[in-house]
């Protein structure tokens, strides 16, 4: 197969770079981690995206997680169009947002109340403020390689885009604030115990991606999440599960339902907006009632609970509320990663993968990958060779080894077969130095 023609994308990318930093509105989209020109997307169709030059790709980015039903789902589009016909925003309460809040609180036993916001960043930032406000403590503990959006306190060792670009922290985050963020390696309870021994009385919360998805896909080892729950209880710190990626992606509800652990606060985003900007934070009633106007901790948003986003989220969640949906998604995702692993083995490429529900990660590393240091030890040039051949062969993966991939319910046998055929060529390229 000949490489895709990217003439229109190239010319758009040049124009874009004059008016938008790096030509993109979120850094990883610029392909700095892999090199080359990002295809500019013209439209989506179920499991595929089509770029402005007419190239069609099987899409495993899924808008970085939200599109669990695939692109242009007819029912989601219909609900959004209906909502739009009644008005796009009111800045006033609506019936649909109550329905969405009830549906989500029903799905998550640990969530009595929630507040809708517009992005995952806003959700984690607000949950952090609540944790600090409710405990009166300044410090937080996060894990190396976990990404929780770009709020100042959380941009420390943040995996994902900052890891792709090799940026350790970020200028603009005052040192006085960054100092309050304590870090530990993921899956390392001994390190968390030590951190609590040192800072315990000052720690407001532990925030964690219960299944890490911003350093590839790294599941928690048995006992890790249970240990965090125990330590937080022992030191009266709050446990925050950032399920912006895993919520309704790895199971109905999310990782906390899968693992049977109740965090004090949960952050959601991505899937709950069905491809439009909606996110949420929520948890125990006595915590959530400390938010204004019931309590003194302030948080607000002009477009929070936006009717179009709520309509897309409601329809998406309605469609996910049957157990067989996640069984199908999980089995398709497993067949994909197993197919990758077989082809890597045949090509003699050190490779390990993980998948949970509809998310997966690929590491050019013999494994096991338990934390960010392991993920960073993977063979990046091999990933880049693999990535470019996949793209040429019509498979659209995240342009970074530190991102999870996403399978949607629109992905079928045809897409799986095409992806694995491409992978045979791509692993051969990865093996060739």
Ligand X SMILES: *Cc1c(COP(=O)(O)O)cnc(C)c1O
Q: For ligand X, give the closer residue by CB, 33 or 149.
A: 149
Q: For ligand X, give the closer residue by CB, 273 or 339.
A: 273
Q: How far is the CB of 13 from ligand X (least distance, A)?
A: 22
For the chain, the straight-line distance linking the first and the last C-alpha, in angstroms and rounded, comes to 21
Q: For ligand X, give the closer residue by CB, 339 or 361.
A: 361
Which residues are the active-site residues?
147, 242, 270
Q: For ligand X, give the closer residue by CB, 209 or 393.
A: 209
Q: How far is the CB of 239 from ligand X (least distance, A)?
A: 15
3-state secondary structure the chain: CCCCCCHHHHHHHHHHHHHCHHHCCCHHHHCCCCCCCCCCEEEEEECEEEECCCCEEEECCHHHCCCCCCECCHHHHHHHHHHHHCCCCCCCCCHHHHHHHHHHHHHCCCCCEEEEECCHHHHHHHHHHHHHHHHCCCEEEEECCCCCCCCHHHCCCCCHHHHHCCCCCCCCCCHHHHCCEEEECCCCHHHHHHHHHHHHHHEEEEEECCCECCCCCECCCCCHHHHHHHHHHHCCCEEEEECCCCCCCCCCCCHHHHHCCCCCEEEECHHHHCCCCCEEEEECHHHHCCECCCCCECCCCCCCCCHHHHHHHHHHHHHHCCHHHHHHHHHHHHHHHHHHHHHHHHHCCCCEEEEECCEEEEECCCCCCCCHHHHHCCCHHHHHHHHHHHHHCCEECCCCCCCCEECCCCCCHHHHHHHHHHHHHHHHHHHCC
With CB atoms as reference, the residue minimizing the distance to ligand X is 120
* Contacts with 336 (C-beta within 8 Å, 6 or more apart), sequence order: 355, 360, 407, 416, 419, 420
CA distance 57 to 49: 5
Q: How far is the CB of 215 from ligand X (least distance, A)?
A: 11
CB contact at 8 A, 288 and 256: no
Sign of the torsion angle spanned by Cα atoms 152, 157, 161, 163: positive
Q: For ligand X, give the closer residue by CB, 154 or 349.
A: 154
Q: For ligand X, give the closer residue by CB, 39 or 120.
A: 120
Q: For ligand X, give the closer residue by CB, 55 or 371.
A: 371
Q: How far is the CB of 269 from ligand X (least distance, A)?
A: 5
Catalog residues that contact ligand X under the rule CB under 6 A: 119-121, 124, 147-149, 209, 213-214, 242, 244-245, 269, 279
Q: For ligand X, give the closer residue by CB, 185 or 200.
A: 185
Would you mind telling me the total number of residues written for the chain in this entry?
A: 433
Q: How far is the CB of 323 from ligand X (least distance, A)?
A: 24
Tokens of 245: 């990626």
Q: For ligand X, give the closer residue by CB, 149 or 361.
A: 149
Q: How far is the CB of 222 from ligand X (least distance, A)?
A: 21
CB contact at 8 A, 269 and 247: yes
Q: How far is the CB of 19 from ligand X (least distance, A)?
A: 22
Distances (CA, A) of 334 to 16, 236, 391: 38, 39, 21
CB contact at 8 A, 205 and 140: yes
């Amino acid at each position: 197969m000949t490489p895709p023609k990217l003439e229109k994308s190239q010319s758009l990318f040049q124009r874009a770079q004059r008016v938008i930093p790096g030509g993109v509105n979120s850094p990883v989209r610029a392909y700095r981690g892999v090199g080359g020109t990002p295809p500019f997307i013209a439209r989506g169709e179920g499991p595929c995206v089509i770029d402005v030059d007419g190239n069609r790709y099987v899409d495993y980015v899924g808008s970085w997680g939200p599109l669990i039903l695939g692109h242009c789902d007819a029912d989601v589009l219909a609900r959004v169009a209906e909502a739009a016909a009644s008005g796009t925003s009111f800045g006033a309460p609506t019936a649909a947002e109550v329905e969405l809040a009830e549906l989500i609180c029903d799905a998550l036993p640990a969530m009595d109340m929630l507040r809708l916001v517009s992005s995952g960043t806003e959700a984690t930032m607000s949950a952090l403020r609540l944790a600090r406000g409710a405990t009166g403590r300044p410090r937080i503990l996060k894990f190396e390689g976990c990404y929780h959006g770009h709020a100042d306190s959380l941009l420390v060792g943040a995996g994902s885009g900052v890891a792709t670009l090799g940026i350790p922290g970020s200028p603009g985050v005052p040192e006085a604030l960054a100092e309050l963020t304590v870090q530990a390696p993921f899956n390392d309870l001994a390190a968390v115990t030590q951190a609590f021994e040192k800072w315990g009385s000052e720690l407001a919360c532990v925030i964690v991606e219960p299944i890490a998805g911003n350093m590839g896909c790294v599941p928690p080892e048995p006992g890790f999440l249970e240990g965090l729950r125990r330590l937080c209880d022992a030191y009266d710190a709050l446990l925050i599960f950032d399920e912006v990626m895993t919520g309704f992606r790895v199971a109905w509800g999310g990782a906390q339902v899968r693992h049977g652990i109740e965090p004090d606060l949960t952050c959601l985003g991505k899937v709950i907006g069905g491809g439009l900007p909606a996110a949420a934070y929520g948890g125990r009633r006595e915590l959530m009632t400390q938010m204004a106007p019931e309590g003194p901790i302030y948080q607000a948003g002009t477009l929070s609970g936006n009717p179009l986003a709520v309509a897309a989220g409601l329809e998406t969640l309605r469609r996910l509320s049957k157990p067989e949906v996640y069984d199908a998604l999980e089995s398709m995702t497993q067949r994909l990663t197993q197919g990758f692993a077989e082809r890597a083995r045949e090509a003699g490429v050190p490779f390990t993968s993980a998948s949970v529900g509809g998310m997966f990660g690929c590491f050019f590393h013999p494994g096991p990958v338990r934390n960010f240091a392991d993920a960073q030890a993977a063979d990046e040039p091999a990933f880049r060779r693999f990535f470019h051949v996949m793209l040429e062969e019509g498979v659209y993966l995240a342009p970074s080894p530190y991102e999870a991939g996403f399978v949607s319910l629109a992905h079928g046998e045809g897409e799986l077969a095409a992806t694995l055929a491409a992978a045979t060529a791509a692993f051969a390229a990865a093996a060739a130095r």
